[in-house]
Amino acid sequence: MSGLEIGLWSFPALLALIFVRVPIGLAMFVTGGFGLWLVSGINLPLAKLKTETYSTFSNYSLSIVPMFLLMGQFATLGGMSSAIFRAAESWLGHRRGGVAMAAIGACAGFGAICGSSLATAATMSRVALPELRAYGYAGGFSTATLAAGGTLGILIPPSVVLVIYAILAEQNIAKLFLAAVIPGLLAAVGYLITISIYVRLYPGRAGVRAPVPYAERFRALIDVWPVLLVFGLVVGGIYLGWFTPAEGASVGAIGTGVIAFLNGGLRWRSLVESFMVTARSTAMIFFIILGAALYNGFLALTQVPQEISAFVTGQGFSPWTVLALILVFYLVLGCMMDSLSMILLTIPIFFPVIMSLDFGMSAEHTAIWFGILVLIAVEVGLITPPVGMNLFIINAMDRSTPMVETYRAVLFFVASDIVRVAILAAFPVITLVLLPG
């Protein structure tokens, strides 16, 4: 077999491993390492491991991941997550579907300070799931709402997926964050519309509560000020160039940590528990990144990305057809893989393809716009049945709801996502309007 053939065979091999429940990072590690062995002998993968595990784990740009994860833990301990939920609920709770909308609003708010979709879904589920069930919301509707809301964690900046994209595509992180703001808000609005349609179709699946006096509503708003402060400092500081994303994450973690300590939420035991949560997610994410690094090095060596790029561009498809093919590919792939590995695997292949096409924009604008479209496409993957990380995490927290019910309800949110992708693809200006120059 030639290197190219080995490279092409590695795709089905990797998928087969993933389907038999091999952890994703391990599957990529093994496929990449074994592929390198076949192409170049056993010494090459072993020699790579002498320095590459260390250099992958010590990457300065990736240090943002555990920092934001820990910040999310502190925000929960400080009562900031539930404060956001109470504020949203006091304004929306009396409308049909209002509590679900409040959950979306809370996810959006939390997503604004948390960099990870899984962390947002997991954190907000702990707060909002019991509330939703208490208000008489159907199980599947509740879990689907939170699964979709959780994706706002990556859609609304800061976002780990965008950081990874920026590194792979050599783009400016601050500009990508800025470009993600309007699409992220559109996502939240789209989910609110989805909820109102859903409760109109199935009124029995959502409860309402008596309106809250305005005085109490404003009081709930005041409770949110620490969140707004930290959000303003972190996101604003990164945008204004006061600090790097990693520095912003540090400032945010210090801010939420201090607030949590003052609120009495951060003590020895809870600090240790937040280390545990951070440790598990960090190790999980970095092991996927390590596996992807090995697999990507192998793919590069076999020249498969170049060949696929040449094939796609050589077909004479129009740029828009190529873009549509890539986005559909992501929706399909999203049923099987998690967002980070999708980005890590595919951006080195598709990014040069997209950059070689003419969409009537500058190279930088094309890169940023494509990054946002990819971000949304992989995020949809998190909630598309049968495999979606957010679906699994939230369903695991509500054992009384069968998975199939979650699947059915989430399709409404997936539909709203697909409409949004189409709009943003057709009108790049929506994404690019906030960019300077």
Helices (H), 135-232: 139-155, 160-169, 173-201, 214-222, 225-231
Residue 434 binding other proteins, by CB under 8 A: no
Identify which of 74, 414, 416, 124 has the alpha carbon closest to the alpha carbon of residue 278.
74
At 432, list the tokens.
Answer: 């690019």
Helices (H), 223-303: 225-231, 237-239, 245-262, 268-302
Q: Which is nearer to other proteins, 190 or 334 (CB)?
A: 334
Residue 137 binding other proteins, by CB under 8 A: no
Residue 384 binding Na ion, by CB under 5 A: yes
Can you tell me which of 10, 76, 194, 250 binds other proteins, judged by CB under 8 A?
250
Which residues in the 319-358 window bind Na ion by CB under 5 A? 334-335
Exposed, middle or buried by CB within 10 Å (0-12, 13-18, 19+), for 259? buried
Q: How far is the CB of 413 from other proteins (least distance, A)?
A: 19
Separation of alpha carbons 279 and 293, rounded Å: 21
Can you tell me which of 144, 381, 410, 412 binds Na ion, judged by CB under 5 A?
381
**DSSP code for 79:** T
C-beta separation of 69 from 281 below 8 A? yes
Q: How far is the CB of 355 from other proteins (least distance, A)?
A: 11
Count CB neighbours of 404 within 10 A. 11
Residue 400 binding other proteins, by CB under 8 A: no
Residue 156 binding Na ion, by CB under 5 A: yes
The contact pattern for other proteins, residues 98-127, with x = CB under 8 A and - = no contact, is ------------------------------
Interacting stretch for other proteins, rule CB under 8 A, among 23-31, 88-96, 210-218, 367-375? 23-31
Q: Which is nearer to Na ion, 159 or 282 (CB)?
A: 159
| Among other proteins, Na ion, none, residue 282 binds (CB under 5-8 Å by kind) | other proteins
C-beta separation of 188 from 152 below 8 A? yes
Q: How far is the CB of 100 from Na ion (least distance, A)?
A: 20
Total residues interacting with other proteins, rule: CB under 8 A: 81
Separation of alpha carbons 158 and 33, rounded Å: 33
Q: How far is the CB of 340 from other proteins (least distance, A)?
A: 9
Which residues in the 69-88 window bind other proteins by CB under 8 A? 70
Residue 401 binding other proteins, by CB under 8 A: no
- DSSP string spanning 360-374? SS-HHHHHHHHHHHH
Residues that bind Na ion (CB under 5 A): 111, 153, 156, 159, 334-335, 381, 384, 387-388
